[in-house]
């Protein structure tokens, strides 16, 4: 009959300035006098995972409980809820060899055969998570939202790389003094975009599929939506207003894209949407909705839910 030595959380410090790792440890002394450790990943662990830190976790366990690693059997568990595991947990036996740890697929039955008894269960999620938080654990993520503005179309910066634009590619090829669009020189790329725009004519623009929409009406309607909904709303509110607009089906889709996948102009360049900005540039539109900043909404919890199987 095995004897339980520890059944609870452990907090492992990996080095100065690093976050402590929090894991659930079940440690038993077997009837043979050897020991068995089961280490489980828990929600709220801010440091390295049980897999990535297994050698240092086991080193901590050996030191804390004065064990001989040569007579210690180690198992690790990723329970249901972690790593998008919904139906069953992942259990491995960890073998420590000269080259480092090696993981061998296992199961709960193999652990219980060594124990000679059922494996002690972890508490349900609410109790488990509260215990992790009490030790200083818990993950969060920052939530932000886009800040829109009816940006004057003449203020749109030149494109730096109109990827897969046949007009731009032909212009690059036929203009010896231009640098290739994949150049690392950002200033040269912006200059290329400016010169490309100067070289475009009303007739050449008509040959580009992305320009075949009523971009002036799309732009005007996007600014009307900003006036109606505001410049700091949820994307769903903007898209709903776009779908309620008077535009035709194709133009509605382009209008909705200005809010669902917006043109982003920050720091004097684009991080998204330069093809549509190009279409707007030659549309005769005065202003169009574009993202000009992001606003932090603070942090929210970002821990997964323990679903059992630990």
Domain boundaries, the chain: 3-138, 144-297
pLDDT of 112: 97
Are 220 and 242 in contact by the 8 Å Cβ rule? The answer is no
Average of per-residue pLDDT across 233-241: 91
Q: Name the one residue in this structure whose structure tokens are 């992790």.
A: 132
- Encoded tokens for 80: 């249901």
HEC letters along 64-101: HHCCCHHHEEEEEEECCCHHHCCCCCEEEEEEEECCEE
pLDDT digits (tens, 9 = 90+) for 30-89: 999 999 999 999 999 999 999 999 999 999 999 999 999 999 999 999 999 998 888 899
Cβ contacts of 5 within 8 Å, gap of 6 or more: 27, 28, 29, 35, 65
Q: Name the one residue in this structure whose structure tokens are 């008509």.
A: 206
Q: Name the one residue in this structure whose structure tokens are 């100065």.
A: 16
Are 78 and 85 in contact by the 8 Å Cβ rule? The answer is yes
pTM: 0.65
Average of per-residue pLDDT across 1-20: 89
- Encoded tokens for 274: 């330069």
pLDDT digits (tens, 9 = 90+) for 105-157: 999 999 999 999 999 999 999 999 999 999 999 998 898 888 999 999 999 99
């Amino acid at each position: 009959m095995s004897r339980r030595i520890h059944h609870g959380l452990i907090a492992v410090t990996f080095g100065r300035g690093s976050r402590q790792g929090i894991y659930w440890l079940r440690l038993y002394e077997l009837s043979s006098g050897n020991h068995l450790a089961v280490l489980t990943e828990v929600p709220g662990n801010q440091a390295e995972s049980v897999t990535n830190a297994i050698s240092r976790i086991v080193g901590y366990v050996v030191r804390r409980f004065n064990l001989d690693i040569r007579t210690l059997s180690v198992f690790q568990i990723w329970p249901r809820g972690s790593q998008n595991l919904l139906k069953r947990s992942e259990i491995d036996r960890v073998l420590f060899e000269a080259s480092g740890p090696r993981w061998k697929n296992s199961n709960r039955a193999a652990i219980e055969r060594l124990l000679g008894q059922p494996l002690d269960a972890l508490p349900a999620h609410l109790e488990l998570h509260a215990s992790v938080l009490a030790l200083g654990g818990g993950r969060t993520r920052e939530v932000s939202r886009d800040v829109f503005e009816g940006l004057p179309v003449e203020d749109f910066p030149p494109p730096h790389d109109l990827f897969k634009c046949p007009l731009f590619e032909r212009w690059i090829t036929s203009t010896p003094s231009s640098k290739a669009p994949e150049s690392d020189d950002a200033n040269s790329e912006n200059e290329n975009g400016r010169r490309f725009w100067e070289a475009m004519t009303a007739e050449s623009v008509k040959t580009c599929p992305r320009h075949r929409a009523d971009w002036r009406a799309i732009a005007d309607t996007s600014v009307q939506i900003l006036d109606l909904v505001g410049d700091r709303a949820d994307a769903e509110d903007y898209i709903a207003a776009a779908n309620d607009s008077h535009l035709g089906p194709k133009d509605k889709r382009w209008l909705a894209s200005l809010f669902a996948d917006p043109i982003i102009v920050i720091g004097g360049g684009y991080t998204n949407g330069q093809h549509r900005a190009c279409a707007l540039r030659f549309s005769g539109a005065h202003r169009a909705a574009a993202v000009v900043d992001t606003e932090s909404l603070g942090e929210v919890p970002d821990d997964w839910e323990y679903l059992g199987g630990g």
